[in-house]
Amino acid sequence: MPRAITASKALTPGVIGDLELRNRFIRAGCFEGMSQGGRVTPALIEHHRRVAAGGAAMTTVAYCSVSPDGRAFEHELWMREEIVPGLHDLTEAAHGEGAAASIQLAHCGFFASPQVIGRRPLGASRKLCLYRLSRCEEMSEPEIEAKIDDFVGAARLARKAGFDAVEVHAGHGYLLSQFLSPWTNHRQDRYGGSLENRLRFPATVIRRVRQALGTSFPILVKMNQQDGMRSGLEIDEAIQIAQRFEQEGASMLIPSCGFTAKTPLYMMRGHVPTREMARNQRNPLARLSTLLFGRFLVQTYPFQPLFLLDGALQIRQSVTIPVAYIGGVLSLADMERVMQAGFEFAQVGRAIVCDPDFVNKLQAGDLEASGCDHCNRCIAAMESGGVYCVTYSQGQREVKNPG
């Protein structure tokens, strides 16, 4: 008989601000691909209910743009009053399974899709985006002020919808990250140049969101330890950014890495599913270009467990607020190592996509490690109806239909 695991700190309650979570596992904000028309769908609600039922302490709704001009895809949420009832249904579904719910608030900046938003994208500086084959406009100071208001408004609506926390996305090459990174920020005004200037916009967002939500509401901030390319952000500046985010009111930091429009697999590692990504492109030209050039545009980075631990440790040691580890957690042993290193929580993506019952099975002693093989075909699945584990689903079909 499997033996229940009770001694692990990873399976004990933890606290962020005024929020108590039942364990230390948070489902990371992995894009679901289930928000067709920018709306909350039954599939999105069921996806997060299933994660909550599987034992995660908190599930994160991914990549909700704070305004319509910040979207990368048509099937991506953008926050407005119209979707609050649907989001409330989602948070109620998670709460009904004993989990909390967070929502990731973001803006794509220079890699927003011109076809989706109907205009040229906005960015820290004018820059060609090879990912979109488009050039963005440099944001004016009034546009920066308007985006700060958009983040604040989105956070207020998230709380109204019943979310227990918000996650401000200042990493992965999204708009706030574009201001922080020397690779995308070439401005000559008070928002560019020195790190203090590059911090001005993201720091103001966090400060204003904190003022809007009060002193104890959990505000998580996802940030980069490294961008992963020459002239990008490095760990020395990331440490200073983490300290500033703490000063401005962040409740917890999540030090990730990578730049979606330049080094997308740096944040995940493993195989690049070029054929599957090409097959799921609706535009024939995009399908052909992905098939022919995808392997040159998307670099391959080998996977190893806890691949971001060293940099995350440096950030954890530089701040006093909780830090959640992210990057290659696939087993209870990984979680034990993370807890022993002083992290309060871990965000887990692919292991929970692979098996939504991952946490419950660890707790029951039915599982020691995820079966995720880092094929990353789940990324391609986002474009074909919603994220799921392609390998696990195939295995299930083979068991049900032997021969």
* 265-315 pLDDT, tens digit each: 888 888 776 665 556 555 555 544 454 445 545 678 888 999 999 999 999
More confident residue, 322 or 134: 322
- Would you say residue 162 lies in a domain? yes
Report DSSP letters for 176-224, one per residue: HHHHH-TTT----STTSSSHHHHHHHHHHHHHHHHHHH-SSS-EEEEEE
Domain of residue 26 covers 9-269+304-372
- Would you say residue 275 lies in a domain? no
- Residue 93 pLDDT greater than 50, yes or no: yes
- Residue 219 pLDDT greater than 70, yes or no: yes
Set 63, 131, 174, 266: catalytic member: 174
According to the model, what pLDDT value does residue 402 have?
32
- Would you say residue 393 lies in a domain? no
User: In this structure, are residues 111 and 173 in contact, taking their beta carbons and an 8 Å threshold?
Assistant: yes
How many domains does the chain contain in total?
1
Residue 90: band (very low, low, confident or very high) from pLDDT cuts 50, 70, 90: very high
- Would you say residue 394 lies in a domain? no
- Would you say residue 289 lies in a domain? no
Which residues, 6+ apart, have CB-to-CB distance to 211 below 8 Å?
249
66-80, 335-349, 366-380 — which is least confidently predicted? 366-380
- Would you say residue 315 lies in a domain? yes
Which residues, 6+ apart, have CB-to-CB distance to 258 below 8 Å?
171, 172, 173, 224, 227, 228, 264, 265, 266, 267, 268
- Would you say residue 396 lies in a domain? no
Residue 372: band (very low, low, confident or very high) from pLDDT cuts 50, 70, 90: confident
Q: In the annotation, is 174 catalytic?
A: yes
- Would you say residue 92 lies in a domain? yes
* 212/105 Cα distance (integer angstroms): 15
We report the CATH number of the domain holding residue 313 as 3.20.20.70
* 205/306 Cα distance (integer angstroms): 30
User: In this structure, are residues 278 and 287 in contact, taking their beta carbons and an 8 Å threshold?
Assistant: yes
Longest CA span, the chain: 66
